[in-house]
Structure 1
Amino acid sequence: MEFCDECGSMMKTDDERWVCGSCGYEKARNAEAEQEMAVTTQGQEESEVVDTSEVDAEDMGPTTGARCPECGNERAFYEMKQIRAADESETRFFTCTECEHKWREDDH
């Protein structure tokens, strides 16, 4: 991962160059330095799929009054995650308690 020297945004690769999507700053890639940046999964445990078919609804987590866009049910499990910049609000993820349809809501 490389960050822009001009504005601090995360840069993306474009062939042999790093390019900032925010301000357009470019710099040459360095294969040796990038080799040291490589992330490996060696030593990390794989997560398992959890079967929740035998779990009571009360144990699934909190619910809220949210209308499912798929079936119209008025109840959904929810969780909140910070998936954008730290200074922006969290994203709310919902799962319908009836049909298990999943959707999300962001603040705009």
Structure 2
Amino acid sequence: MASVSHFNCDVNFCPRCGAILPTLGIHGGLACVVCKFEIDIEVMEELEVKYTIEFNTKSDYIEEQQLKSAQSKTDGPLVERKCPKCGNDTMSYASLQLRSADEGQTIFYTCPKCQYKETENS
């Protein structure tokens, strides 16, 4: 049995390589199928695992809802691009292959605030 640990990890994962440790029914221990690391199940029972659950705050939820609302009014996903008309920091985009296959796509940008549209040939 090896006791080498290269990093600190959850007890369900190999401390040597990080792979999932399946339970060995016959031997009553754990063995890594990747690096062949083995450990007795009794040693694993002594380990204490702590988990932390973090909940979003109300303000995080409100910001997320505002972002979803802004995205629902757009033509596609948002990207950091300044609108030349109103100065908004984000614009939505959509891309289409309008030219021949060996040329780049045409990207259509739309401002979610003022609905200004522009194109770019990539």
Q: Bin the TM-score by the shorter chain.
A: 0.3 to 0.5
Q: Which has the higher helix share?
A: 2
